Amino acid sequence: MLKIKLKGRGVVEGFGKGEALVAKSPISFLGGVNPLSGLITDKNHELYGETITGKVLVFPFGKGSTVGSYTLYALSKYGTKPAAIINIETEPIIVVGCVIGKIPLVDKLEKNPIEVIKNGDLVEVYGERGVVIIHKTNNCETNLNCKI
């Protein structure tokens, strides 16, 4: 299994490990994620119907109301939170939600995480150090068409 280590900015401390769930579009937590189930409920989002519970959630940045911070907190309270969040560049709604929900958060990685991380990869996030370790589920060493 190929292992890739990326360095970025550690935003919220903590360690999270889980299967990657990757979105190319921003996520609005208020109205877009059900905190009781951890399901993405925004019918217009590419991850509609997927659960974020225990996953390393990778997306460009958050969008929507500041109440999204409290949705992240509620996910933590109900035991449905993601293991960690990786953004291309985060913003205050996601940061506050991750702080109060105790969700590790990293952004500004040296490579675009949406291009490097694929759904199903096993990902470790070290929030305080800004380090992400990706265990590729598709072994790129033997796949000539694999892009990292």
Give catalytic status of residue 65 as yes or no: yes
Confidence band of 139 (pLDDT split at 50, 70, 90)? low
Average pLDDT over residues 45-66: 97
135-139 long-range Cβ contacts below 8 angstroms, 24+ apart = 135/1, 135/2, 135/3, 136/1, 136/2, 136/3, 136/4, 137/1, 139/1, 139/2
Average pLDDT over residues 59-74: 96
Catalytic residue chosen out of the listed positions 25, 37, 65, 76: 65
Confidence band of 39 (pLDDT split at 50, 70, 90)? very high
Residue 145 inside a domain? The answer is no
Residue 122 inside a domain? The answer is yes
pLDDT, tens digit, 9 for 90 and up, residues 85-130: 999 999 999 999 999 999 999 999 999 999 999 999 999 999 999 9
Average pLDDT over residues 17-43: 98
Q: What is the DSSP code (8-state) at residue 143?
A: -
What percent of the chain has pLDDT above 90? 91
Q: Is 104 exposed, middle or buried (0-12, 13-18, 19+ CB in 10 A)?
A: buried
The whole domain housing 121 covers: 3-135
Confidence band of 136 (pLDDT split at 50, 70, 90)? very high
Residue 148 inside a domain? The answer is no
Residue 2 has pLDDT above 70, yes or no: yes
The pTM score is 0.93
- The tally of domains found in the chain comes to 1
Residue 142 has pLDDT above 80, yes or no: no
Residue 141 has pLDDT above 80, yes or no: no
The domain that holds 44 is classified in CATH as 3.50.30.10
Average pLDDT over residues 55-76: 97
